[in-house]
């Protein structure tokens, strides 16, 4: 049992980490897009009751919950604008949730819009892989994202800027750029920094 309790948060190698990340993300998206705000506290309560949720996963749960509260407030203030919501996810470095949010739009999109959404999903994937230490996976995702963003630099969703994103994707040590928000996270990671 001690091996489970000491498990670091790692959704790529640890099933409970992956389930926690996926379930929390799904609950947030349900709260925002389906008008089901009860999903977040229900999901959190279910995981808090688990006896195999060690300190690293418990910290991830609580940090994500705090971030989600901020996201819900920002979403309400923006009137649920999809581009502002996507920027909010990105600026708080909730890259997995960003990926999930844009994937829903990507499935309905066509043409250049579909390519651009896929590029942003890949950009988020690059940051997810960077955090997990998967240098080659991050580089591949970043290169594929850069290719499309370079092709459509003026067609990104409202508030996203191609130049800083391209520069950050090109430099594996660069922090993710922030869009349309104060540079509050320039001195440290966003609230989504714990785990991919």
Query: Same structural domain for residues 95 and 133?
Result: yes
Query: Same structural domain for residues 133 and 98?
Result: yes
Q: What pLDDT digit, counting tens, does each position of 129-186 carry? A: 999 899 999 999 999 999 999 999 999 999 999 999 999 999 998 999 999 854 444 4
Tokens 């290169």 sit on residue: 143
Q: What pLDDT digit, counting tens, does each position of 47-102 carry? A: 999 999 999 999 999 999 999 999 999 888 888 788 999 999 999 999 999 999 99
Query: Same structural domain for residues 34 and 113?
Result: no
Domain that holds residue 125: 81-183+192-196
Name the H helices within the chain: 2-5, 15-33, 39-48, 55-78, 82-91, 95-108, 111-132, 135-151, 162-170
Query: Same structural domain for residues 116 and 150?
Result: yes
């Amino acid at each position: 049992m001690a091996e489970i309790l000491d498990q670091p948060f790692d959704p790529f190698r640890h099933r409970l980490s992956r389930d926690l990340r996926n379930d929390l993300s799904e609950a947030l998206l349900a709260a925002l897009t389906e008008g089901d705000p009860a999903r977040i506290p229900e999901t959190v309560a279910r995981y808090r009751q688990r006896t195999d949720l060690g300190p690293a996963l418990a910290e991830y749960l609580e940090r994500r919950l705090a971030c989600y509260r901020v996201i819900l407030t920002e979403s309400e203030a923006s009137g649920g604008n999809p581009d502002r919501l996507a920027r909010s996810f990105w600026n708080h470095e909730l890259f997995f949730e960003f990926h999930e949010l844009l994937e829903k739009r990507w499935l309905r999109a066509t043409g250049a819009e579909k390519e651009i959404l896929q590029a942003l999903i890949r950009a988020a994937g690059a940051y997810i892989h960077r955090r997990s230490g998967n240098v080659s996976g991050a580089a591949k995702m970043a290169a594929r994202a850069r290719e499309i963003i370079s092709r459509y630099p003026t067609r990104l969703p409202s508030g996203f800027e191609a130049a800083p994103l391209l520069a950050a994707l090109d430099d594996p040590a660069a922090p993710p750029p922030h869009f349309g928000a104060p540079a509050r996270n320039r001195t440290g990671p966003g609230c989504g920094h714990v785990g991919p």
